[in-house]
């Protein structure tokens, strides 16, 4: 595995307050400790193409394997989230993610994907996505998105979630509203996923929800199909597209992962070629699930499990109705109890 990290240029101009810190050496994976390696694990170049004949309809066997990878991704994300606290570095979170993946026989999908140097993405405050874990200590009041993907038995499971350093009480009202709006717009789009619906409905629902509330949605990054390939058809746009994109079918598996910004949503790339921040330093938030389209709706393959913590935006959601985002009967019951109590 050959991964080189780039040192930031001394004259680089940053849009916000977050700065890159030193990175630890890349953590390696012993092939004997994981079930399978993705095709890019050694040289960083993905070779397998997915969905060349359109959007894949997964077989029953593939769905079983993707449920397993989705469950593993959720478990790892929950482990990472419990570490979020003042003074903890994102590199320490990455170390825990790396170890948790290996313990499950899974390869951390981001590692060496197109030369990405770490096992997860940690995007703090104005970082929209693809933040590289480093030695920066998290500070009280920071918001951080942790993006986890695992490759288990030949299939990827991908999810991300927001975390607040120091808890809700440490976050200003504007930050709370940003996360809540992002979560509710995302949840609103999940509610409408079912066979026969055009893919363009997803982005329209998200944009219709956030625009009246004064937020903007990133257009340069999108959700994606997923399976044996990390990223494949379809592209899932998180904004209004005024043309048909094709009808959703049972057996489709893809991610919905809107990136919502306080101000401008134009990305500004750091010179590490990965980290994307807002151009004006405004904060950004994101949520993501790997979703399976069923005969009559949608299943969150990376949904909450029995031990998943409940976050304030879930409890305070104004759109959370009968939507179940769990992957077990216990999680379903907990969601129903939450909905009944609101």
Is 323 inside a domain boundary?
yes
Q: Answer yes or no: is 169 a known binding residue.
A: no
In a domain, 275, yes or no: yes
Give the number of domains in the chain. 1
CA distance 91 to 97: 10
Domain range enclosing 217? 50-341
- Mean pLDDT over residues 79-108, rounded? 99
- Cα angle 239-150-19, degrees, rounded to a multiple of 5: 65
What pLDDT does 318 receive?
Answer: 81
- Residue 224, annotated as binding a ligand: yes
Cα Rg, the chain, nearest whole Å: 19
Give the model's pLDDT for residue 49. 79
Judge whether 89 lies within some domain. Answer: yes
- pLDDT by residue (tens digit) across 42-78? 999 999 876 556 899 999 999 999 999 999 999 999 9
Q: Which residues 6+ apart lie within 8 Å of 89 measured at CB?
A: 21, 133, 134, 135, 136, 137, 138
CATH number, domain with residue 290:
3.90.230.10
Whether 329 has a binding-site annotation, put simply, is no
Q: Shortest CA distance to 132 belongs to which of 283, 303, 3, 319?
A: 3
Query: Is the residue at 325 inside a domain?
Result: yes
Is 158 known to sit in a ligand binding site? yes
- pTM for the whole thing? 0.92
Residue 2 in any domain: the answer is no
The answer to the question of whether 238 is labelled as a binding residue is no
């Amino acid at each position: 595995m050959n991964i080189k990290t780039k040192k930031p240029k001394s004259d680089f101009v940053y849009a916000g307050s977050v700065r890159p810190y030193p990175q630890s050496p890349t953590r390696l994976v012993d092939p004997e400790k994981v079930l399978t390696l993705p095709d890019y694990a050694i040289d960083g170049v993905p070779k397998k193409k997915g969905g060349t004949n359109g959007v894949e309809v997964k077989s029953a066997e593939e769905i079983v394997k993707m449920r397993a990878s989705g469950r593993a991704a959720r478990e790892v994300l929950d482990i990472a989230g419990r570490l979020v606290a003042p003074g903890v570095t994102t590199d320490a979170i990455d170390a825990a993610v790396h170890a948790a993946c290996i313990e499950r026989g899974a390869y951390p999908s981001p590692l060496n994907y197109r030369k990405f140097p770490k096992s997860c993405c940690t995007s703090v405050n104005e970082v929209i996505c693809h933040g590289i874990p480093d030695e920066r200590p998290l500070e009280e009041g920071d918001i951080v998105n942790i993006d986890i993907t695992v490759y288990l038995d030949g299939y990827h499971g991908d999810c991300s979630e927001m975390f607040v350093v120091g808890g809700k009480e440490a976050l200003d009202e504007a930050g709370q509203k940003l996360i809540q709006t992002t979560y509710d717009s995302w949840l609103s789009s999940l509610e409408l996923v079912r066979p026969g619906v055009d893919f363009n409905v997803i982005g329209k629902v998200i944009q219709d929800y956030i625009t009246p509330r004064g937020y903007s949605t990133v257009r340069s990054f999108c959700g994606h199909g997923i399976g044996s390939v990390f990223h494949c058809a379809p592209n899932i746009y998180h904004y209004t597209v005024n043309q048909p994109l094709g009808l959703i079918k049972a057996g489709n598996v893809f991610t919905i992962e809107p990136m919502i910004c306080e101000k401008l949503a134009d990305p500004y790339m750091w010179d590490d070629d990965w980290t994307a921040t807002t151009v004006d330093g405004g904060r950004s938030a994101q949520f993501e699930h790997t979703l399976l389209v069923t005969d009559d709706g949608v299943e969150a393959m990376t949904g909450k499990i029995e031990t998943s913590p409940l976050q304030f935006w879930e409890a305070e959601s104004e759109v959370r109705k009968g939507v179940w985002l769990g992957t077990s009967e216990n999680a379903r019951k907990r969601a129903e109890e939450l909905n009944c109590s609101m």
